[in-house]
Structure 1
Amino acid sequence: MPETATGPAPIAETAAGPAPTVETVAAIGAGVPDGRPFRLGFLLHLDSDLAPAVAYRQAIDLFVAAERLGYDSGWVIHRHFRQGNEHVSSPLVLLAAIAEHTTRIRLGTGVFVLPLADPLAVAEDAAVLDGLSGGRLELGVGSGPFPTAWEAFGRSVEDRHRLFDESVTRLHEILEGRPVNSAGEVLHPPGAEVRRRLWQATTGDPARAVGAAVAAARAGDGLQLSRAGDWAGRQSARRQADIVAAYHDAATGAGHEPRVQISRAVYPHPDRAEAVRAVTPGVRRWQSWAAKDRDAGGLDVREYLERDRSLLGPPEALAESLAADPALAQVTDLLVSFVPGVPDFEEHLRLLTATARDLAPLLGWCPLQDSRTHSRAHRPSQGIPPP
């Protein structure tokens, strides 16, 4: 996407001095233990025509930038075979690389397609990554949206709900340290801390969504909900609010602290018309491969954005929309993504900065006091100066 008139904020500037004070428009969130209303995370798509190696280096740089801006967490998507035009077939490997260039920001999967993997292998990789990162892994698991991935792994998508339930139960047991064989051997390194930071993405099936959320709550897992939208299989914000309420009641009833992560598409920009122009190439790109599934190919850009529930424009307008979102009343983790389409690197930096400095504070969020901690020695791949 083209660079906007405001221009991207250089990375070096994001670490220097406190962000400007922004008056709260309307706080959202259920509150988190550190006293803030919610934690702020960003979801990273790697949908681009860049070479995979270049996309991975950019991902590292974006996490470094987000850490300096005070983001609490960053999450990467999981896709096999470039499904969804993504480059991330192995998110835990990518997060391990990111871990070596950051010190504070939490590292999440949004979400790992668990039923297509061996839960024991996932647990081993997750435990090693958690050790490498200093206990920063947030492991989100789900069943994945692409039937052809199930075909490739020799499994039937018709069995996805049963296989997911079996896989997540097995993952729980392994992370909790139960023996994995007749010799009594257990996971090493231990996974007890990862177990406490496990999240489940609920199914979009309306007949199963509440039950799945309640099961996650009773297990002590966090709840992950994707973006609301007016597409087949996508939940409305009102429906998500009902799911969150059921989850919250079940978690508190079971004695667990509720953890609710909800994703929303935002594109802060002082000029909404310019923002629409900026996302148009991304919308057209998404329409080119998603039209068959989403019946979106014939829509103009503004109609697409409306059905996609993407929020574009001045931060104040976006904050008002988010504050009115019924699903966000009990959120503990707000996950922002800059879609449809994926911005180029410089625009991505601008969006990260605008969200952290101009948008999220309007909703009551602020970085933790130590959030300005500089990243480890980092060799930038995009000409970004180290701190």
Structure 2
Amino acid sequence: MTPPARRFLPSPWTFLAHAAARTKRIRLATAITFLPLENPVRLAEDVSVVDILSGGRVEIGVGSGGSEAEYAAFGRDITRKRELTTEGLRILRSALAHIAGDVHRAALRFGERGAFPANLDIGEALRRFHAFYGHPDEIVAGLRQERVLPVATDLITQFDPAAADSDAAIRALELIATEIAPALGRRPVPQPEPQGV
């Protein structure tokens, strides 16, 4: 009997973004991401987005893989797999450290100018910037603590389209419209019926 062919999830971080939205406590991870077959900067961006959406529940395992067919499909030289893995891991670590620190560094600069207290941690930095992340229930709880919310006539939400891939961005908008806004008492504005010609 011929053994079944190995099959892998082709887009695990898109799947994990979806899982992040439907769970509260489980850790989210890939067993092994074949680093030589990935763009390490793009991977760092995807991992960071899922980590933010999940409230810090992401773990990532990386390895070199071993299938000649997979390497050939991505135009990679399997004889260089150790070298490619080492270099990819160096870039991935650097990119993850850069992305995670951007908000924190901005908050520290505000602190130096006296706009924020000095030496904020990353959680307090996000709060000061009114940036909410995590499960929709956590975001709703955070927004309910905003003192201006009871008197606000409009709730405008946004995200940086350069910081998330299109699947994560669409899912974020869906969650805002279907779970977060209704939980805060927001209702869609009725749209006029289209007029026939």
TM-score range, shorter chain: 0.3 to 0.5
Q: How does the TM-score come out when normalised to structure 1? A: 0.25
Q: How does the TM-score come out when normalised to structure 2? A: 0.47
Larger radius of gyration: 2
Structure (1 or 2) with the greater strand fraction: 1
